[in-house]
Structure 1
Amino acid sequence: MKIRDIEMTAVEVPVIPLEEGGIAPYRGSQDKVGTTSITSLIFKVTTDEGITGWGEMNPIISTKVTKVLLEEYIKPLVIGQNPFDLNKIMQAFAPVYNPQINTKSFLTAIEMACWDIMGKSVNKPVYELLGGKVRDRIDIAYALGILDITQTKEKIAQIKEEGYRTLKTKGGKDVVFDIRRTIAMRDAGGDYFDIRVDMNQGYDTPTALRYLRGVEECDIQYIEQPIKVNKMDDLQSLRDRTRVPIGINEDCYVPGNLFEAIRRKAIDIAIVDFEPLGGITELSRLEHVAREADLPLAHHCGWDMGVKLAAILHSTCTMPAFTYPMDSTYFAHADDVLKEKIRIEDGSYVIPEGAGLGVQVDEEKLQFLAVK
């Protein structure tokens, strides 16, 4: 079997607004305007046997430049390859890796499609190819941007009523407001409701310590990436001086930083996304490291649409270290490229069944949602 062609379509979908029960505009510490729509790149990989696999990535540069990269760099690397030869395909990407264009995201999309093809070719779900499930569902951490305290309390009431048990929100701009809002979230959430706060590197170290000491009685699940990457001494110092669990995300993609954080015992959890890692295979390798270190993992969310979400579910349901709910915004997407959206039951994702990734792309809808 050989890969015959690769097609890419950029699609845009609105995010459901707050007043309609959604989360838009979604603001973080690095986002002044707020996200109201999402754009994803959907890849269709076709083999000479007529089997089609689907992949997805976040746009990292303009669609026009991305199409040139696809034609001039990605296609020559991949067309003619056997989709089962993942290691060979992954090695082919290494010479053109560039942090500015991040070909690892392209690799993730292509590798995702290859897993889909492999599963379809043997009529097995991807999770079986990865060794089988260790969990049947993936709990969801409901992702919410920065809101005022009144809006936050109202949203938590809605989230709990809908069956979600974990809230992931943003901070890192105003430490006094962040402390007050976190205390209010704990009061509104009550017992048996987990809260995690992502600072997106928004604090310096003294401010991060001030926040951590201000919320120590709030029983936070963890604080994510409170300070800038490559500050292992400071990260270790923070963990030594607070009871609040500390996690990293952006540091996970800097070569060597996860190993260093583990060696120093500077973190309690890592929040990872297979897209900047290079795909499911690389995620599995990282998970083995975390498991050996008894470090729990949570999967990150990058405004993932149904294709990538299906791949996340198929992979993380097979990996024991992913014991924490995954961040997600999928519930607030106004539409999707799939014929049937991935099911949510009682605040958890149901793993899609069927060959490959277990989902079907609606190609008419794909064209309808395409960025013109």
Structure 2
Amino acid sequence: MTPVTPVTPAPAAAPAAVPAALSGVPAAAPSGDRIHRVRLSSVRLPLATPISDAKVLTGVQTPMTEVALLFAEVSTADGHEGIGFSYAKRAGGPGQYAHAREVAPALVGEDPNDIARLWTKLVWAGASVGRSGLATQAIAALDIALWDMKARRAGLPLAKLLGAHRDSVRCYNTSGGFLHTPVEELLDNATASLERGLGGIKIKVGQPDGAADLRRLEAVRGHLGDGVPLMVDANQQWDRPTALRMGRALEGFGLTWVEEPLDAYDAEGHAALAASLDTPVATGEMLASVAEHTALIEARACDIIQPDAPRIGGITQFLRLAALADHRGLQLAPHFAMEIHLHLAAAYPHEPWVEHFEWLEPLFHERLEIRGGRMHLSNRPGLGITLTDQARAWTREACEIDGTGAVRELTAATG
């Protein structure tokens, strides 16, 4: 019988050395910092000129004279701060402020880094009023403030924290092309925008008389020439037959897109129109949740999607939607709020557009750099914005939630 030679087990491998910088640090450790104060402000920004688009000319709305903004300023026990905002046009501002005032105490004592979890917590704090519209628009200001804080803590512009694909984004002007503007002034505004460094011009259409729209568009295209990107926006004021007829009439102008030709929730109609026209169809700005945008995406209802981070619940929700849009290969052109959307567009994989409105400039000390047809990221951390004294002066209501979750009024409401 052949003897069996015992096998001596090999010595266990020595554990890999832990880098000194990580020694003693548990995985996924909480930051230790906690939210200890939230300030909310309801601000009314007056517009120099009453604004009219097709919704005014068709009698659906009255001219817009102001923008209501909800500002959220969040700070932590370690002294970190972030600012975010949402907004409402014509109606909804007081409602956004009231909802934020009710749910914001849920943030106190929380780790500010856990933004997705905190978004969900805020939604459930006000779940009885739903997960879209005014409720999530109120949450958006808080969510954006947390993202601003996170990027500031990292010492990075928000786009860099998210992972930028570019340091500048194509930009176009809208504020000079409203329907209350006479044609000669429209042309002057377009020239001024291009001289300022913007890359494209958008004008409003959707008047009851379609021929009047075509005459304005002919004047603008003739003034700009064929090389300047030109967009039109009907603000949902066409029915399906009119949208198809006008869309075909617009084909010869070489438009970058035709925006909101139909009701914002008519995914089927938008899909049929997009399949019928060579001109790209853009829509989405009026939708108030990721779910509503998903219906557009699944119906293949647009070529260019136009989400608005404050309207859909903030940056956390915008990133969810951007991933869906990227998966479908859609172009991106976020609506309004360029101070936020520059960063989000810079982080989108496909070359996007961002909309230029100078309306909010009196609220912030900083200005965005525009040159060569593009809006450029600054090296300021976070969103790179701070509030002016004028913004404080336009405040109608304000409150502060302290470290105990108690709400203290800072100013009384004024008319």
Of 159-168 and 111-120, deviating more is: 159-168
Q: State which of 316, 321, 324 in structure 2 corresponds to 1:289.
A: 324
Tell me which residue corresponds to 2:34: 2
**Cα deviation per residue 1:195-240 (whole Å; 9 max; x = unaligned)?**
1111121011111112111111100111112111343332232223
> Identity percentage over the alignment?
22
Write the mapping of 1:236-255 to structure 2, written as runs, cut at 5 A. Answer: 236-250=271-285, 252-253=287-288
Secondary structure at the aligned position of 1:5 is classed as: strand
User: 2: distance between equivalents of 1:101 and 1:269?
Assistant: 22
Given that 1:166 and 1:325 are in contact with CA atoms closer than 8 Å, whether structure 2 keeps it comes out as: no
User: 1: distance between equivalents of 2:376 and 2:139?
Assistant: 26
Given that 2:133 and 2:288 are in contact with CA atoms closer than 8 Å, whether structure 1 keeps it comes out as: no
User: 1: distance between equivalents of 2:240 and 2:122?
Assistant: 37
What is the number of residues matched between the two proteins? 353
Given that 1:284 and 1:319 are in contact with CA atoms closer than 8 Å, whether structure 2 keeps it comes out as: no
Note if 1:354 corresponds to 2:380. Answer: yes
Secondary structure at the aligned position of 1:25 is classed as: strand
Tell me which residue corresponds to 1:370: 395
Secondary structure at the aligned position of 2:194 is classed as: helix
Q: State which of 160, 174, 195 in structure 2 corresponds to 1:161.
A: 195
User: 1: distance between equivalents of 2:92 and 2:51?
Assistant: 22
User: 2: distance between equivalents of 1:123 and 1:242?
Assistant: 46
Write the mapping of 1:204-283 to structure 2, written as runs, cut at 5 A. Answer: 204-250=239-285, 252-253=287-288, 256=291, 258-283=293-318
User: 2: distance between equivalents of 1:66 and 1:164?
Assistant: 32
Secondary structure at the aligned position of 1:226 is classed as: coil
Write the mapping of 1:69-218 to structure 2, written as runs, cut at 5 A. Answer: 69-71=99-101, 73-95=102-124, 96-97=126-127, 98=129, 102-131=134-163, 133-143=164-174, 144-146=177-179, 147-174=181-208, 175-218=210-253
User: 1: distance between equivalents of 2:298 and 2:133?
Assistant: 31
Q: What displacement does 1:89 show?
A: 0.9
Secondary structure at the aligned position of 1:180 is classed as: helix
Secondary structure at the aligned position of 1:58 is classed as: strand
- The one-letter amino acid of 1:209's match is L
Secondary structure at the aligned position of 1:336 is classed as: helix
Secondary structure at the aligned position of 2:306 is classed as: strand
User: 2: distance between equivalents of 1:231 and 1:299?
Assistant: 19
Tell me which residue corresponds to 2:73: 44
Q: State which of 323, 336, 341 in structure 2 corresponds to 1:312.
A: 341
Q: 1:117 to 1:145 in 2, by over 3 A?
A: same
User: 2: distance between equivalents of 1:106 and 1:258?
Assistant: 19
Higher Cα Rg: structure 1 or 2?
Answer: 2
- The one-letter amino acid of 1:224's match is E
Of 261-270 and 197-206, deviating more is: 261-270
Q: What displacement does 1:281 show?
A: 2.0
Secondary structure at the aligned position of 2:187 is classed as: helix
Secondary structure at the aligned position of 2:305 is classed as: strand
Q: 1:155 to 1:193 in 2, by over 3 A?
A: same
**Cα deviation per residue 1:274-304 (whole Å; 9 max; x = unaligned)?**
1122111221221121112111111111xx3
Q: What displacement does 1:113 show?
A: 0.9
Q: State which of 320, 324, 329 in structure 1 corresponds to 2:357.
A: 329
Q: 1:233 to 1:360 in 2, by over 3 A?
A: closer
- The one-letter amino acid of 2:146's match is C
Tell me which residue corresponds to 2:410: none
Secondary structure at the aligned position of 2:368 is classed as: coil
User: 2: distance between equivalents of 1:65 and 1:102?
Assistant: 7
User: 1: distance between equivalents of 2:42 and 2:143?
Assistant: 18
**Which blocks of at least 5 consecutive residues in structure 1 are unaligned?**
17-23
Q: 1:195 to 1:347 in 2, by over 3 A?
A: same
Aligned-pair RMSD on alpha carbons?
A: 2.6
User: 2: distance between equivalents of 1:45 and 1:123?
Assistant: 17
Tell me which residue corresponds to 1:34: 63
Given that 1:123 and 1:356 are in contact with CA atoms closer than 8 Å, whether structure 2 keeps it comes out as: yes
Q: 1:201 to 1:124 in 2, by over 3 A?
A: same
Q: 1:246 to 1:35 in 2, by over 3 A?
A: same
Given that 1:140 and 1:326 are in contact with CA atoms closer than 8 Å, whether structure 2 keeps it comes out as: yes
Given that 1:194 and 1:221 are in contact with CA atoms closer than 8 Å, whether structure 2 keeps it comes out as: yes
User: 2: distance between equivalents of 1:211 and 1:81?
Assistant: 53
